[in-house]
Amino acid sequence: MTKGQIRQSLSGYYDVVTTDGIEYRTRARGNFRKKKQTPLVGDWVEFKAQKADEGYILEIYPRKNQLVRPPMANLDTAIVVTACIQPDFSSNLLDRQLAMLEANDVSPVLYFSKYDLLTEEKKAELDPILNYYAKFYPVYRGGLPARLETLKTMLAKLHHQVIVVMGQTGAGKSTLLNQLEPTLKLATGEISKALSRGRHTTRKVSLLPIGDNLLADTPGFSSFELLEITKEQLPALFPDLVAYQAECKFRGCLHINEPKCAVKAAVESGEIMSSRYANYQLFHDMIINQKPKYR
């Protein structure tokens, strides 16, 4: 048996690369279905292969984390690509992604694509929002060559990490990857003006070597579920709320109906951005109204 990492998944096949850099095409044994386990890109696995294209995955090593969308495991960093325009900026979708990444202990980096396409008026409208996020996360504005170079420098300082590039359909994930590593020549799609949605140019999940890191290009999405998060866990997933929670009167304050809540006071005074708190309230309501899932 040999140990390797799944670098690509497509149509039931898994391309596994060993620590020696040799690639094998494998399939998963049927017993994974019985265990309701699915191998994911990023997984470390034990596999057996007589030939380079006839291997079988026998065991999945324990994961440090996993995401449902994109379906990946053992992530270190996520570059969340969010369009400023075409499609229009959505704080709700961004905050969902950030909460899920925080819950899985994945470090977010925010890349606001198509910033250069904004009018000066739109930039003036969006800049305070981007500056607010920059207090809590690394933020880069897309389409500005100097900012792209700083992003490249930041990535060069990371070593042996699994980094996912994720975001809504049409946000420009493949475009960003091509800018980071021009030799990739990944397909990019234009936005359909009729639907204001991007064409799904990426249909598989692949880990691509860039420097000594692995970057993943992933399929886009237009919705994003908050899975397996409880209402008690939710406040800790918003670093801007965490900064005030020690001042709340009640320990374990959920910042919804409790009196003398420092978070609500910070929202009223403008220290916490109102759209962040509105999204937090919405996510809280969604979690408490979720129908139980029976397995």
For residue 59, give both structure tokens: 């065991």
The answer to whether 240 is annotated as binding is: no
Does 84 show up as a binding residue in the annotation? no
- The Cα 13–Cα 55 span in angstroms is 10
Relative to beta strand 139-141, strand 107-113 is: parallel
Q: Is 274 assigned a ligand-binding role in the annotation?
A: no
DSSP 50: S
**Helix or strand (DSSP H, E) at 266:** helix 262-268
Is 222 annotated to bind a ligand? Reply is: no
Question: CA–CA separation, 286 vs 283, rounded Å?
Answer: 5
The answer to whether the annotation marks 168 as part of a ligand binding site is yes
Task: Please give the Cα distance from 81 to 78 (Å, whole number).
Answer: 9
Rounded-to-integer distance, Cα 226 and Cα 285, Å? 12
Q: Is position 275 annotated in a ligand binding site?
A: no
116 is in an annotated binding site: yes
- Give, for 260, the enclosing helix (H) or strand (E): none
Q: Is 174 annotated as belonging to a binding site? A: yes
Is 245 annotated as contributing to ligand binding? no
User: Binding site for GTP: residue ranges?
Assistant: 113-116, 167-175
User: Binding site for Zn(2+): residue ranges?
Assistant: 248, 253, 255, 261
User: Binding site: residue ranges?
Assistant: 113-116, 167-175, 248, 253, 255, 261
